[in-house]
Amino acid sequence: MSVGELNQLMTYVIDGWMLFSAGFIGIGLISFVSRRIQEDIEADAIALANQQSAAAGTLETAEVRVAQAVEDAARLEEVAAVSKQLAKTKSKQSDSSSVSVST
């Protein structure tokens, strides 16, 4: 094998090695980037789930407050009705003549 042929063979070997290395590095880079993208997607999904659970908790708290407000309104109406009834009873008692019994 002459020096020129050996030189040409080594050029092919080196070119092949560079292509292999570039391919290996490219695959590694693509794998790294895809892993990072997947981690970002998972982090976004977790953040969204946390936001939704927080929103659901806030909604539940608001619903409880509304229910308590309705209950409070019902109690106030009941107290007002009882107060009116007591006022009517008191006015009837004060309107009736009082009889004193002396011994």
Q: What is the pLDDT of residues 18-44, one digit of tens each?
A: 999 999 999 999 999 999 999 999 999
Q: What is the pLDDT of residues 44-102, one digit of tens each?
A: 999 999 998 888 888 888 888 888 888 988 899 999 999 999 888 888 777 665 556 66
> What's at 91, amino acid-wise?
S
Separation of alpha carbons 49 and 86, rounded Å: 55
Specify the pTM: 0.48
Separation of alpha carbons 2 and 53, rounded Å: 76
Residues with Cβ within 8 Å of 9's Cβ and at least 6 positions away in sequence, in order, are 1
Residue 74 CA: distances (Å) to CA of 37, 42, 61, 79, 80: 55, 48, 20, 9, 10
